[in-house]
Amino acid sequence: MAFDAAELHGKVDWRNGLISPEIFIDEKIYREELRQLFGRAWLFLAHDSMIPKPGDFFNTYMGGDPVIVARQKDGSVKAYLNACRHRGMKVCRAEDGNARNFMCTYHGWTYDIAGNLVSVPNAADAYHGELDRSRWGLVQVAQIDSYKGLIFATFDPSAPPLLDYLGDMTYYIDTWVDHVPGGIEVLPGCVKWTIHGNWKIAAEQFAGDGYHAAVTHSSSLGLVGEGMWGGMPPGGQFASRLGHGHSFVTGRVTRFDDDPLGEYNARRNAVVEDRLGPERSNMLGNFTVFPNMSGLPASANLRVWHPKGPNTFEIWSFTVVDKDAPDHVKKAQQLSATLTEGAAGTVEVDDGENWDLMGQMLAQGHQTRQMSWNYQMGLGHEVDDHPVHPGSFNATYYGEGPQRTFYRRWLEFMTTEKWPHVDAVRESGEPVDAADRADTSPAGTR
Amino acid sequence: MTTHIAPAPTTDAAPPGVPAVDVVLQFAIEQFLYHEAQLLDEWKYRDWWHLFTDDAHYRVPVRRNRLRRQRFEDEVASRGIEMAHFDDTKETLDLRVRQRESGTHWAEDPPSRSRHVVSNVRVRPSGAEPGAYDVRSAFICYRNRLEAEVDLWAGERFDRLRPTGEGSFRIADRVVLLDQNVVLSKNLSIFF
């Protein structure tokens, strides 16, 4: 049965840019989010370069659930719940590494790297040889696929293929994973830290909130001589009907005047322009792949917002470099990324202040939850037929179109039982109310 | 662009009961560390910055949960091309101090109250740099911020201290091992 769709529709008025902050703090909504959204959407797990060899694994989360993503002997990748089928204990507590199998440390049930149950203590005597091990492997994700090295998975067997899920977003993803012939790799060392706030606040910011930078990041922008931006930098915003967003400025290739990578970047930019064309090679932006994967290519940063409750999330921050770049360039990029992003990053530390304090206020207050938050910037100024950029496009750097679209998509996931299709919307040109679709969808299709 | 990598934090202490240096030197180094802690707790970041040598490195690696039977030594990340919380030179530490001086660094404005408690100070002559000292110390750092925000960090520091010739020291290298894997606070807008 769908969650109280009418109630949620009352809280998320994306058409008019009005959103109730209850969706950031309500425990019931959060539990439903784990089921309806994180239980169905394609979620980013890892990059190929993080698990290059057979047996390499990386421990991550899909929503609230721990998931192991592991390279198989044949080079393929599997992902499965990090939870023993006997009592649900974690079968692996290391965050990454290489393994032939995982033994649950409760009773010793042991699984191979593919997640098959290969050994059960006392199988012959205690179980009388009657336990069918083939039926008790680790719970596999329903679908796993990758886009140019980015590995995603979904728990929903009826989810559309990954490429359909990403949609027009691949046009923008290519600017940060396929801008040079060798592609990217993720550096070792995932920086993880904790915000007492809601994950959506961070995801919406990366989807399109260039507006916050001038004020929130005044002190770090000031370090490089720019100070507070007076006007609005030239740029644009892309809002995908599928919930993804990308926001960028144009005319600059790096954030830093004294970028130690200047010479490398200058050479690279010629290659990038050749591959991506003049428009896409000139973007300096941030993005969110719906729902919780984001990044800041200008700072070589890729991250996931892992929910840990309605009012807590962890940031897992990765740094990406050009795979074929020389080591001194990779090292310089690592130092630059360390200085700016992460728990101690000069840019990042000021974001934590906002997200965490907003979370505290919503946790404690009543009146602060009754406010309607304003998402009206640029409302009605998007175009769907931009000659260059696909998607809903706003030709200014500031605007909240990507956020409105993010919450529109969120609402669809939360209020439909069937996979939230959007094809019908595109064909008719008229938005189809998610609740209406839910009424006409066969129940229990997942 | 320097690519200097901080030395591995493998400074061994002298055996129990056997001081590696005389008590006056031990005392002087402890007093130096207490003075440094006071500068941080009193928001005198520029004075703190002057305690570092021009070629100083300041590094806080990411702690990792690794299988003991397999690459346990990797629990502390290598000094290669690997992400850290801090990986600073004196130049980039200057950027961080300037950020605190800007008046618009909201994560520390209003400023946090902090209390750096330094203990377990073990000193021995540096094997890598004649005349310098390798100093291990433990710390607890309490932060109270705004109305009711509390963070608590613990860890160990591996310092290379260089005598100034005037009875004091400068920090030539510092590796800080935080005892947290996932940092449990909203940021690390603080120095250790």
Amino acid found at A224: V
Contact check, Cβ <8 Å, A187/B88: no
Reported ipTM: 0.91
How close is the nearest chain B Cα to the Cα of A284, in Å? Answer: 22
Chain A contacts of B84, Cβ < 8 Å? 189, 191, 338
pLDDT of residue A191: 97
Chain A contacts of B192, Cβ < 8 Å? none
Q: Give the integer Cα–Cα distance in Å for A185 and A327.
A: 12
Greater model confidence, B79 or B114? B114
b/e map A196-211, b = 16+ CB within 10 Å: bbbbbbbbbbbbbbbb
From the first residue on, what is the mean pLDDT of each consecutive set of 10 residues in chain A (446 residues)?
78 96 97 96 98 97 98 98 98 94 97 98 97 98 98 96 94 90 94 98 95 90 64 87 91 53 80 87 89 90 97 97 91 91 95 95 95 96 83 88 96 89 49 42 33
Mean pLDDT, chain B, integer = 89
Structure tokens at B115: 């209390």
Identify whether the C-beta of residue A257 lies closer than 8 Å to the C-beta of residue A224.
yes
Burial of B80 (0-12, 13-18, 19+ CB in 10 A): middle
What distance, in Å, lies between the first and last C-alpha atoms of chain A? 12
Q: Pick the catalytic residue: A48, A96, A112, A351?
A: A351
- To test the contact with chain B by mutation, choose from A339, A358, A361 the residue with the greatest count of B C-beta atoms within 10 A, namely A339
Residues ≥6 apart with Cβ < 8 Å to A326? A264
Question: What percent of chain B shows pLDDT beyond 70?
Answer: 87
Amino acid found at A76: S
Strand, coil or helix: what is B59? strand
Distance of CA A305 to CAs A158, A188, A212, A385, Å? 24, 19, 19, 31
Contact check, Cβ <8 Å, B82/A220: no
List, edge to edge, every strand of the sheet that includes A101-103: A101-103, A110-112, A117-119
Contact check, Cβ <8 Å, A339/B184: no
pLDDT of residue A426: 44
Searching chain A, which residue's CA lies closest to the CA of residue B59? Answer: A338
Q: B125-179: per-residue pLDDT in tens?
A: 998 999 999 999 999 999 999 999 999 999 999 999 999 988 899 999 999 999 9
**Cα A407 to chain centroid, rounded:** 14
pTM, rounded to two decimals = 0.92
How close is the nearest chain B Cα to the Cα of A377, in Å? Answer: 24
Using the predicted structure, report yes or no on whether residue B17 has a pLDDT greater than 80.
no
- A246 a catalytic residue: no
pLDDT of residue B35: 98
Q: A143-189: per-residue pLDDT in tens?
A: 999 999 999 999 999 999 999 999 989 998 998 899 899 999 999 99
Residues ≥6 apart with Cβ < 8 Å to A196? A311, A312, A356, A359, A360, A363, B186
CA atoms within a 13 Å half-sphere pointing along the CA-CB vector of A47: 22
pLDDT of residue A145: 98
How close is the nearest chain B Cα to the Cα of A364, in Å? Answer: 12
Identify whether the C-beta of residue B71 lies closer than 8 Å to the C-beta of residue B164.
no
Question: What percent of chain B shows pLDDT beyond 90?
Answer: 77
pLDDT of residue A440: 36
- A209 a catalytic residue: yes
- Shortest CB distance from A219 goes to which of B92, B99, B186? B99
Identify whether the C-beta of residue A373 lies closer than 8 Å to the C-beta of residue A19.
yes
